Chain A
């Protein structure tokens, strides 16, 4: 382009009004307000977390004394038992006594909850991926109904589902399977949503047909075409399922039995029975299990998380 024509363009533009600014002072003000609210919300979320981490280790009596270490405590085989431990604990600034207490009393519960979460992840993956594939790939009667019913637990109170399950499946009541069922009902929607959203986002049928035309059998197509494309969705779904299962309380509280108790129910017990320090220690252990999953979700996340996260 010659310089003369560039000059003509500049000359033409010079006579015109300047383009309208989209970001006016008002918009900047509103954005500032939005930032302020966001920061306040983040602070509101983090401050109780910080207080419980402090409380979990402190020997301070600022939030009430921790003189009572709850009824589940047994003196260690060696050493002077809980009274000596407590005296030692109250000497310094920080102590691990509360954590040791929680691990000793609720250790089994923590393992049980992890077991529940892992089994939920495996089962929702197996059942959910198969079902999502069928729901997106094929047309059959009642398809919309199935999708609607999978999502139903998201909008009905967990306690109602728990009471329904207890009454309808009395034989399962003493076992841990009934708790697992409750967890599966409330985590399945997340897996199904993550996988169906991904399946709907690209033309996997064309890929499958291409593979089939090259002579791939059904299992080969699954193994080499469909599942590799779903890897990311399954990862996001699994992390969501893990996080939700770990914290599930509404449905599982009534499904728990004294022997099989999920950790959130144990937390309820510590809040009712134990001191602030012990409750804090128990709460922070839960957070330490949960946070890696939540942070991993943000980093592997992306579109699946955005869409599956709706209705979390």
Chain B
């Protein structure tokens, strides 16, 4: 049918956009990570993107990856990033079950406002969260200042720059993402199942452990996957407050701004992309495996 064929063309602008500005750049990134590293330290700065296919074939090397995996520093950055992101993803999801539950299962005046408050950090970039943790828990943040006024001792001062400060800051901007996703999952939950379990004599813990948790597990796991990806990519917080921890996104940023070593930064990006995407995919698969009922 003629009309059918022409109608499908409406998707073309999007496909062209994605091809030119997402797929091609990502392929270029992968290709460029195999070119010998430049950067000001090596004295090999060159025009970014200045190679043709022929040149590329002649210069292709694993130099960047050998440096990356041979150097304990970058491996530790990668490890820090992955462990921190996973821990934060799991922690924030557990924490956000509470507001998601409240939003679905209870009624109170001002619920929309409460929901709006919870979504505030959604559009905050990492730097803003970093600033906020500094004004709350920095050297002379609001909380130490209040504690000093109350007790005469500025407790919790400088917490912002420690690992716990980093964790708090990351959880801060995971709250809306985790809450909204979990809320949708809980809304879909069939509460008749809970009533059935109760009428069969299940205790509270049995209802939670054998009915609620197994049925919500896929949603919980996919929320973890999402939160993980967001944490991996967000480097604004770390840029402001991570003074003691080397994290992969910050290393990439420094490699570009400090040494202009685009080739090595590309290799770091490729590793980060591979790790993020495989972990994300694995978690999503895991979530699907736990579906008790088939999705529509």
Interface residues of A (CB under 8 A from B): 20, 22, 24, 26-27, 30-31, 33-38, 41-42, 44-49, 51-52, 55, 62-64, 126-128, 130-131, 133-135, 137-138, 140, 146, 149-150, 152-161, 163-170, 181, 184-185, 188, 192, 218, 243-244, 246-250, 253-254, 264, 267-268, 271, 276, 279-280, 283, 286, 290-291, 293-295, 297-299, 306-307, 309-312
B29 near A163: Cβ-Cβ < 8 Å: yes
Question: Within B222-265, which residues are at the interface with A (CB < 8 Å)?
Answer: 225-226, 229, 232-236, 239-240, 249, 252-253, 256, 262, 265
Inside 8 A of B161's CB, which chain A residues have their CB? none
A163 near B269: Cβ-Cβ < 8 Å: yes
B269 near A33: Cβ-Cβ < 8 Å: no
Inside 8 A of A33's CB, which chain B residues have their CB? 98
B214 within 8 A of A: no
Q: Please pick, from A37, A156, A249, the residue contacting B99 in the complex, using a CB distance under 8 A.
A: A37
A130 near B11: Cβ-Cβ < 8 Å: yes
Most chain A Cβ neighbours within 10 Å, of B23, B128, B239, B253? B128
If A185-B21, A280-B135, A312-B180 touch, does A250 touch B120 (CB 8 Å cutoff)? no
Nearest first, the 5 A-B pairs at minimum CB distance are: A249-B125, A157-B233, A164-B25, A48-B132, A37-B98
Inside 8 A of B9's CB, which chain A residues have their CB? 134
B98 near A155: Cβ-Cβ < 8 Å: no
Question: Within B247-296, which residues are at the interface with A (CB < 8 Å)?
Answer: 249, 252-253, 256, 262, 265-266, 269-270, 272-273, 276-277, 280
Alpha-carbon gap, A6 to B112, bound state (A): 44
A31 near B95: Cβ-Cβ < 8 Å: no
10 additional contacts (CB under 8 A) given A149-B22, A295-B113: A41-B96, A140-B8, A157-B232, A164-B28, A188-B17, A267-B128, A283-B132, A298-B115, A312-B177, A312-B180
B175 near A45: Cβ-Cβ < 8 Å: yes
Interface pairs (22), CB distance under 8 Å: A31-B105, A31-B106, A34-B97, A37-B95, A37-B98, A41-B96, A41-B175, A64-B140, A126-B13, A134-B8, A134-B9, A138-B8, A157-B273, A161-B25, A163-B252, A184-B21, A188-B14, A247-B128, A250-B126, A291-B120, A294-B116, A297-B119
Nearest B residue to A131, CB-CB: B14
B66 within 8 A of A: no
A-facing mask of B1-14, CB < 8 A → 1, else 0? 00110011111011
Inside 8 A of A157's CB, which chain B residues have their CB? 229, 232-235, 249, 269, 272-273, 276
A180 to chain B, nearest CB (A): 10
B22 near A250: Cβ-Cβ < 8 Å: no
Q: Please pick, from A24, A126, A286, the residue contacting B128 in the complex, using a CB distance under 8 A.
A: A286
Interface residues of B (CB under 8 A from A): 3-4, 7-11, 13-15, 17-18, 21-26, 28-29, 32, 47-49, 95-99, 101-102, 105-106, 112-128, 130-136, 140-142, 145, 172, 175-177, 180-181, 183-184, 187, 194-195, 198-199, 204, 225-226, 229, 232-236, 239-240, 249, 252-253, 256, 262, 265-266, 269-270, 272-273, 276-277, 280
Nearest A residue to B183, CB-CB: A306
B236 near A250: Cβ-Cβ < 8 Å: yes
Inside 8 A of A133's CB, which chain B residues have their CB? 7, 10
Inside 8 A of A283's CB, which chain B residues have their CB? 128, 131-132
A164 near B183: Cβ-Cβ < 8 Å: no
Main secondary structure, interface of B, reads helix
Inside 8 A of B26's CB, which chain A residues have their CB? 161, 164
A167 to chain B, nearest CB (A): 5
Alpha-carbon gap, A20 to B112, bound state (A): 32
B114 near A160: Cβ-Cβ < 8 Å: no
Q: Please pick, from B10, B204, B233, the residue contacting A250 in the complex, using a CB distance under 8 A.
A: B233
A312 near B176: Cβ-Cβ < 8 Å: yes
Inside 8 A of A293's CB, which chain B residues have their CB? 123
A22 near B25: Cβ-Cβ < 8 Å: no
A168 near B28: Cβ-Cβ < 8 Å: yes
Inside 8 A of A181's CB, which chain B residues have their CB? 21
A298 near B49: Cβ-Cβ < 8 Å: no
Alpha-carbon gap, A165 to B121, bound state (A): 27
Inside 8 A of A49's CB, which chain B residues have their CB? 120, 132
If A138-B8, A163-B256, A168-B28 touch, does A45 touch B117 (CB 8 Å cutoff)? yes
B265 near A158: Cβ-Cβ < 8 Å: no
